[in-house]
Amino acid sequence: MSASEVRLPPARYEHGGDEFVFVELDQEMSLEANLKAMAITGALRREDIDGIIDICPSNASYLIRLDPDRLHPADLVDHLRALEHSAGQLPDDHAVRTRIVDVPVLFDDPWTRETLLKFRDRHQDPSATDLEYAARINGFTDVRALIDAITSAPFLVTMLGFVPGLPFCYQMVPRERQIEVPKYVRPRTDTPERAFGYGGAFAVVYPVRGAGGYQLFGIAPAPVFDLAQRLPDFADDIAFPRPSDVLRYRAVDRDEYDRTRTEVESGQFRYRTREVEFLPAELLADPDAVNTRLLEVLYR
């Protein structure tokens, strides 16, 4: 694991006014930074400290919302520093127990294509589609090869946010195989619900229609957010994805997309989901082996 090991810089502790503490584990994105954020926030959640209102793991950082009337922000920072030392070092046998989920995506669909064509004046390359542009700047021979790269390895949900239920997903492959694209020059004012987008090193599914700045690659037939909680996967929660979930984006054709939409609309749809466990140390050392095993569990 030594060759791919990332040494994280010292964490930065910052006060977001009196009600928030922000902790940046790294300015760069890496699986190591995210796994550390998950480990620290997980340990903090188990402590159940009075005065902590929200614990929000983020990509390479985390954010705590607190009630300063019950917990002084400076005391919380002291506590988090201590936690960084006790919980932040992941032992080699540390295991993440989570879910792996099959997430169908129709790439290059008519709806996001229509939207992206409407906003060409806000884009780096007005003459190409977002997929064509992303394929070119990432060195792929064509759009097909880019889609293959996205669907070949699963993604870790590294953060939820922006709007309720939006999963930021980071692909579980080494840095040199990561896809990276810029965000739009100026954000769009419109994005279709369930659009599949990519920005920085993150893939997302937009929960609701609205503004957005990520490159548009496709659309998912199934929702990640269901306010009415009509679908069985949303019985407990209006948002489906959870931090540390592993999502496998699978390319589907128009027929399967339409079939899945019908299932969603009749309330029958369920995500294909399996319980899994993986060792972060093993993932960092041999991602391909871990990913192969995870996909085997998912489709067994």
Catalog residues that contact other proteins under the rule CB under 8 A. Answer: 14-20, 22, 24, 26-30, 53-63, 65, 68-69, 72-74, 159-166, 168, 170, 175, 178, 180-183, 185, 199-202, 207-208, 210, 213, 225, 227, 237-239, 243
Output 111 or 162, the one with its CB closest to other proteins.
Answer: 162
Helices in 48-129 by DSSP H: which ranges?
A: 73-87, 110-118
Output 213 or 250, the one with its CB closest to other proteins.
Answer: 213
In angstroms, what is the minimal distance from the CB of 145 to other proteins? 21
Output 151 or 178, the one with its CB closest to other proteins.
Answer: 178
Output 162 or 271, the one with its CB closest to other proteins.
Answer: 162
In angstroms, what is the minimal distance from the CB of 49 to other proteins? 14
Are the C-beta atoms of 52 and 76 separated by less than 8 Å? yes
* 3-state secondary structure at position 203: strand
As a whole number of angstroms, the distance between CA 124 and CA 113 comes to: 16
Pairing outcome for strands 96-107 and 246-251: parallel
Are the C-beta atoms of 171 and 34 separated by less than 8 Å? no
As a whole number of angstroms, the distance between CA 33 and CA 88 comes to: 10
Judged on CB neighbours under 10 Å (0-12, 13-18, 19+), 238 is: middle
In angstroms, what is the minimal distance from the CB of 211 to other proteins? 9
Output 45 or 120, the one with its CB closest to other proteins.
Answer: 45
In angstroms, what is the minimal distance from the CB of 201 to other proteins? 4
Which of 180, 177, 202, 158 has its CA nearest to residue 288?
177
Task: Give the Cα-Cα-Cα angle 156, 159, 162 (nearest 5 degrees).
Answer: 135
Output 166 or 290, the one with its CB closest to other proteins.
Answer: 166
Output 68 or 113, the one with its CB closest to other proteins.
Answer: 68
In angstroms, what is the minimal distance from the CB of 110 to other proteins? 25
In angstroms, what is the minimal distance from the CB of 112 to other proteins? 19
In angstroms, what is the minimal distance from the CB of 166 to other proteins? 6
User: Which residues have a Cβ under 8 Å from the Cβ of 215 and sit 6 or more positions away?
Assistant: 130, 131, 133, 134, 181, 182, 183, 184, 197, 198, 199
User: Which residues have a Cβ under 8 Å from the Cβ of 64 and sit 6 or more positions away?
Assistant: 20, 21, 22, 23, 44, 52, 54, 55, 56, 76, 80
